A = this chain, B = another copy of it.
Amino acid sequence: MLLTPPLLRRSLPLLTLLGAGAALAQAAKAPAFNTGDTAWMIVAAALVLFMTPGLAFFYGGLTRSQSVLNTMMMSFVSIGIVLVLWMLGGYSIAFAPGNAFFGNLSAAGFNGLDNAVNGTIPSYVFAAFQAMFAVIALALISGAVVERMRFGAFLLFGGLWSLLIYSPLAHMVWGGGWLGVRGALDFAGGTVIHIAAGVSALVAAFVLGPRIGHGRTAHVPHNVPFVLLGAAILWFGWIGFNAGSALGANQSAALAFMTTCVATAAAMLTWLVWESVRGGKPTAVGAATGLVVGLVAITPACGFVSPWASLVVGIAGATASFWVVQFKQSLRADDALDVFACHGVAGIVGALLTGALAWTTGQGKPVGEQLLIQTEAVLFTVVFCGVGSFILLKLVGLVTALRVTPGQEISGIDISSHSEQGYAESESGLSAPVMIGGD
Chain A residues in the interface with B (C-beta under 8 A) = 1, 17, 19-23, 32-40, 42-43, 45-47, 49-50, 53-54, 56-57, 60, 64-66, 68-69, 72-73, 76-77, 79-84, 87, 109-110, 114-117, 121-125, 127-128, 131, 151, 215-226, 228-229, 231-232, 235-236, 239-240, 243, 248-251, 253-255, 257-258, 261-262, 264-266, 268-269, 272, 278, 280-285, 287-288, 291, 306-308, 311, 326-330, 361, 410, 412, 417-428, 432-435, 438-439
Q: A301: shortest Cβ distance to chain B, in Å?
A: 15
- Is B278 touching A439 in the complex (CB atoms < 8 A)? yes
- The 9 A-B residue pairs with the shortest CB-CB distance, nearest first, are A35-B36, A53-B232, A122-B254, A329-B438, A83-B265, A39-B40, A36-B36, A39-B249, A124-B254
| Chain A interface SS verdict (over half) | helix
**Contacting pair A64 B426 (CB below 8 A):** yes
Given the known inter-chain contacts A21-B32, A232-B56, please indicate yes or no for A39 contacting B50, CB distance below 8 A: no
CA distance A9 to B220 in the complex (A): 51
Which B residues are CB-close (under 8 A) to A420? 221, 224, 281, 283-285
Closest to A122 in B: B254
B254 and A125 contacting across the interface, CB-CB below 8 Å = yes
Which residues from chain B contact A240 at a C-beta distance below 8 Å?
46
Residue with the highest number of chain B CB atoms closer than 10 Å, among A20, A124, A127, A255: A124
Q: Are B257 and A42 in contact (CB under 8 A)?
A: yes
Complex contacts, A254 vs chain B, CB 8 Å: 38, 42, 121-125, 128
Does A239 lie within 8 Å of B49, measured CB to CB? yes
Query: A268: which B residues are within 8 A, CB to CB?
Result: 76-77, 79-80
Give which listed residue, B232, B285, B326, contacts A50 with CB less than 8 A: B232
Q: Which of B36, B109, B361, B428 contacts A38 (CB 8 A)?
A: B36
